[in-house]
Structure 1
Amino acid sequence: MISGHLSAKAGKWYMVLELRTPEGKRIPKWIGTGLPIKGNKHKAEEMLYQMRLEYSDARGTSGNMLFSEYLKQWIKDRQCELAKATFDSYKSILEGQVIQFYAPKRIALSALRPADIIAYHQELRKKGVSESTVLRHHAVIHKALEDAYYHELISANPAARVRRPRKEVYVIKPYTAQECRQLLDSIQGEKLEPMLTMAIYTGMRRGELLGLRWGTIDFSANIINVQHEVIRGNVDGKAALFAQDKLKRTASLRTLPMVEPLRNMLLTERQRRYGESQVKAGDYVFIDEKGHPLKPNYVTTAFPKLLAKYGLRPIRLHDLRHSCANLLITARAPLIEVQQWLGHSSIQTTADLYSHLTFQEKLNSAETIKNFE
C-alpha cells in the first residue's frame, strides 16, 4: 500500500501521499481534507487510509502487497489510536518476531491462508513459548487482518478460521490477612515500604501506584483519587517512562477511602520529605533518590528479592492487588464493591478472577443451611 501521513497546515489537516516515479524518485502529493485540526484527527486518519487505498488500487499495488509489508504499515498507522503500552506491545510482537517470520516467505496479503498462520503458531511452540504468548501473537495478527478485511484489502480474515490458542489459567494465590500483616511488619524502614503498604490497602495497579501524586490525596476528606499512571515504553528502541492522565479504562478512574494506617503512613512520608515546606501537588509520592518516579522494572524485580530477604511466600507484585481483593472478600464485601474498588471494567471480570476466593463464603452459607432449624 502507498505510504502517507497527515500534516497540519493553516489550521487544517492535509493528506500527504508518498508517490514514486518509475525510477523510484519520491514525489509527495498533498491533498486537502477540508477538516479543521481541532477534534478531527481520527476522521482525517480515516480519509487518509481510504485515499491510500484508492491510489494503491489504481496502481494495482494493494492486492500484491506482501503480508509482512502490510504489518509494517498497519502498526505505523495504529500509533495514534492505541494506548502507549498497547502500541509498544503490538510493535514488539510484530517487529520482533511476526514480520521476521513472514518476510522471507514473501506471502502476499491476499494469498495468506489459515495454514500460514498455523505455521507461525508452531514456530513459536518450537521455541518453547507459553500458550498465552501464542495467544497474544495470534490476537495481534487477527486484529491486523480484521482491519485489512474491513478496508476490503482481503475478502475474508484467514485468522478467523484458525483455532484460537488456549490461554493458560493462572491460579491466583494471594496473601491472607496474616501474610499481609507479616509483610508490612517485615519491611518497616525499607525503601518500598510506603508503596507496598499502599498496594495492600488500595489494590492499585503498578502504573497507578507509580503515578500517584500528592495533589490527588485529600487528607481532609481522607480519600485518594486514582487518575494518573506512569508506564514503561520505548522511544527509538530505548526504554523510557511515560506519564499519562488517561487511564486505559474509564472504570480505572476512581476514588478510594484512605484508611487510618494508610493515612498515618502517608503523613509520615510527607513530613519526612517536605517537613514544614509547602507540598507540591504535582510531585510524585513514590520516588527514587534523585526525586524521579520509581521505575516500573525496578519495583517488579526488587519486590521478590524483598520477600526472599524476609522468608516470605513468593508472589508477584500484581498479586498484592489480588491480596487486597482477598481482604475485601474475606470481610464479605459485595462483589460489586470489590469491582468498583479495584476499577474493573465489569463485574464479570471481578467474578472470573475471584470466584475461587468467594467459595469460602459458599461454605459459610452451607453451614448456615445445615444448622437451620
Structure 2
Amino acid sequence: MVAGHLQEKKGYFYIVLNYKDELGKRKNKWISTGLPVKGNKKKAEALLVEARKNFESPQQADKENLLFSDFMLQWLEMMKHQIEITTYASYSHAVKGRIAPYFKETGILLKELQPKHIQEFYRYELEVRGVTANTVIHYHANIRKALQYAFKTDLIPSNPADKVERPKKNKFVGSFYDKEEMNKLFEAVKGAPIELAVLLAAFYGLRRSEVVGLKWDAIDFKNKTITIQHTVIEVSVEGKYITVEKDRTKNKSSHRSLPLVVAFEELLLQIKEQQERDRYQYKNSYCTDYLDYIYLDKLGHRIKPGYITQHFPLVLERHKLRRIRYHDLRHSCASLLLANGVSMKEIQDWLGHSDFSTTANIYAHLDVSTKITSAHAMSECLQL
C-alpha cells in the first residue's frame, strides 16, 4: 500500500500520497477531500486509508502500454545522472543510435519482450547491418542492465536478456609496423604538428588521451621520468562534442612512470623553448589557458584528440606508408618490445594494461618468434 498522510491547506484536509515514478524519483499526489479541518479528522483519515488502498501510480497505469523502446530511453535518462559523461556517451550512442530506433519500429511492449525478440535484434545487426560481434556485445550489456532495473522495480517478472546468447567476442588482431616502417614514419613526421603524437605512441605506447593530456608537471627532468597521470578525451553527447579532462587514467595500472630517455628529453626541451618563442611572438593572440600542457599548436591551443585521428592517415597516404590506425602504433610498440626479448609482464607495465591477461590476449600471437628460437635451441641441444 502506498504511503500517505493528511495535510491541512486553507482550512481543508488534503490527502498526500507518496510514490516513486518509473525513474525511481519520489513524487507526491495531492487529493482534495472537500472536508473542512474542523470536526472532520476521522472522516478524513478514513478517506486517506481508502485512497492509499486504491491508488494506482502513473507508473503502474502506464506500464501496461510502455513500449520497450520508450523504456530504454527512460532508463538512459536515469543513468545520465549516475555515471560519468564518457560512459553516458557510450550508452547514448547504443541506445539512441540503434536499440531504441529498432524496437520502436517493432512496436513491442516492455511486458511482451521475450528473449527471441532480443536475439532477432542481434541477428539483424550482425547479418544485415554488418556490425561486429563486439558491438553487439556492447548492445547486450546495455539491454541487460536496463532490463535488470525493470525487473528490480517490478515492471517485468524476469529479465529476458538473461536467456539470450550473446555472440562471442572477436579476437583482436591489430596491424603493426616493424622497425623499418617505424623509422620511415619518424622521417615522414619530422617537424610536423603530429610528430610528438606519433613518437609518444610508438616509443612509450601512449594512448591518444594520454598524449593530449600530457602536462609539463609529468616530466621530471631531474630524475629522468615521465609520469602518465592525466588524460583528455572528446565524447559526442547528443550531437555535441565535449572535451573531458581527467586527473586519472583509463585504469589504475595506466597511471605509470616511465624512464625519460635522452632523445625525448631533448625533444621536450625544444618544444618548451618553442612554446616560449610562440608566446612572445603572438603576444595577446596566444592562448594562456593551456600553459601546463605539452601538446599545443603555435597559438597555444591544446591539440584536440580528433586532430590526431584525422591527420595520421593523411600522413601515411602522403608518404605512401602502409595504412594502420593511430592506435596501432601502441601495438607496434608492444610488438617491437616482444621481438627484442621483453617479457609480457614488462610490456604490461610499460603499456599500463590493467591485468596480464589483457596483454597476453592481444599479443600472444606475436610470441611465435621466441618459440621458434626456443625450438631451434632445443633441436641443436638434443640433436633429434
TM-score over 0.5 (shorter chain)? yes
Distance 2:87 2:155 in 1: 24
1:188-337 alignment runs, 5 A limit: 188-274=190-276, 283-337=292-346
Distance 1:164 1:153 in 2: 23
Counterpart position of 2:128:
126
**Offset, 1:281:** 8.8
Distance 2:59 2:197 in 1: 58
| Closer/same/farther in 2, CA of residues 230 and 348 from structure 1, 3 Å limit | same
Give 2:114's aligned amino acid. R
SS at match of 2:167: coil
SS at match of 1:357: helix
| Closer/same/farther in 2, CA of residues 298 and 58 from structure 1, 3 Å limit | closer
| Closer/same/farther in 2, CA of residues 274 and 64 from structure 1, 3 Å limit | same
Q: Is structure 2 residue 379 aligned with structure 1 residue 367?
A: no
User: Is the contact made by 1:216 and 1:281 (CA closer than 8 Å) also made in structure 2?
Assistant: no
Question: How many residue pairs are counted as aligned between the two chains?
Answer: 332
> Which of 156-165 and 191-200 deviates more?
156-165
**Offset, 1:254:** 1.4
Counterpart position of 1:103:
104
Give 1:122's aligned amino acid. R
How many percent identity over aligned positions?
34
SS at match of 1:358: helix
Residues 252-272 of structure 1, C-alpha deviations (whole Å, 9 max, x = no match):
111121122222211111111
1:49-64 alignment runs, 5 A limit: 59-62=60-63
- Match 1:2 to one of 21, 26, 32: 21
SS at match of 1:241: strand
Distance 1:246 1:153 in 2: 38
Counterpart position of 1:66:
67
Counterpart position of 2:27:
17
Q: Is structure 2 residue 111 aligned with structure 1 residue 92?
A: no
| Closer/same/farther in 2, CA of residues 303 and 4 from structure 1, 3 Å limit | same
Counterpart position of 1:338:
347
Distance 1:55 1:290 in 2: 62
SS at match of 2:141: helix
- Match 2:158 to one of 156, 159, 182: 156
**Offset, 1:222:** 1.3
Give 2:320's aligned amino acid. G
Give 1:93's aligned amino acid. A
Structure 1 runs of 4+ aligned residues shifted over 4 Å read 18-21, 54-64, 275-282
SS at match of 1:301: helix
Counterpart position of 2:285:
none
| Closer/same/farther in 2, CA of residues 67 and 271 from structure 1, 3 Å limit | same
Distance 2:72 2:193 in 1: 43
**Offset, 1:157:** 2.1
Distance 1:171 1:324 in 2: 15
User: Is the contact made by 1:328 and 1:338 (CA closer than 8 Å) also made in structure 2?
Assistant: yes
- Match 2:143 to one of 117, 141, 144: 141
**Offset, 1:241:** 1.4
User: Is the contact made by 1:110 and 1:153 (CA closer than 8 Å) also made in structure 2?
Assistant: yes
Counterpart position of 2:49:
none
RMSD (CA atoms): 2.9
User: Is the contact made by 2:118 and 2:164 (CA closer than 8 Å) also made in structure 1?
Assistant: yes
Counterpart position of 1:169:
171
> Which of 98-107 and 70-79 deviates more?
98-107
Residues 162-182 of structure 1, C-alpha deviations (whole Å, 9 max, x = no match):
221233334222111222122
Distance 1:112 1:18 in 2: 31
**Offset, 1:127:** 2.9
SS at match of 1:371: helix
| Closer/same/farther in 2, CA of residues 19 and 78 from structure 1, 3 Å limit | farther
Distance 2:156 2:112 in 1: 9
Distance 2:353 2:375 in 1: 29
| Closer/same/farther in 2, CA of residues 248 and 148 from structure 1, 3 Å limit | farther
Give 1:94's aligned amino acid. V
Distance 2:278 2:217 in 1: 17
User: Which protein shows a greater Rg?
Assistant: 2
Residues 175-228 of structure 1, C-alpha deviations (whole Å, 9 max, x = no match):
112221221122111111112111111111111111111111111111111111
Give 2:327's aligned amino acid. H
User: Is the contact made by 1:215 and 1:281 (CA closer than 8 Å) also made in structure 2?
Assistant: no
SS at match of 1:242: strand
